[in-house]
Amino acid sequence: MSLPQDLTDDERKVLLQALREPLVDRDPMVIGVCMRLCGRRLLQRAGSAAAANGWRGSPHAFVLTREGWSLLKAERRRAPVLRVG
């Protein structure tokens, strides 16, 4: 599994975007980052599995994998919690 410190700022931004919604951006820079993250098994194409689960969006969209979700979850736990009061 990739380590959080191995991610570039662009990769981290794309993963956080994918956490909110599937990525359907057609910007070549974003597609390049998505393909790198697919190679690291942190993102995947939505494809037929998403359609079989009822999602009607583009099969060419990128979504988080379990590894990508786990990486973001681990990174979130590592961040200090802001205490108020």
What CATH number does the domain containing 69 carry? 1.10.10.10
Residue percentage of the chain with pLDDT more than 90 = 26
**Cα 38 vs. chain centroid, distance in angstroms?**
9
Q: Is the pLDDT of residue 9 over 70?
A: yes
Could you tell me if 2 and 40 are in contact, meaning their C-beta atoms sit under 8 angstroms apart? yes
Number of separate domains in the chain: 1
Establish if 28 belongs to a structural domain.
yes
Most confident of 16-20, 44-48, 53-57: 16-20
> Which domain, by its residues, includes 21?
4-76
- How far apart CA 65 and CA 54 sit, in angstroms, is 17
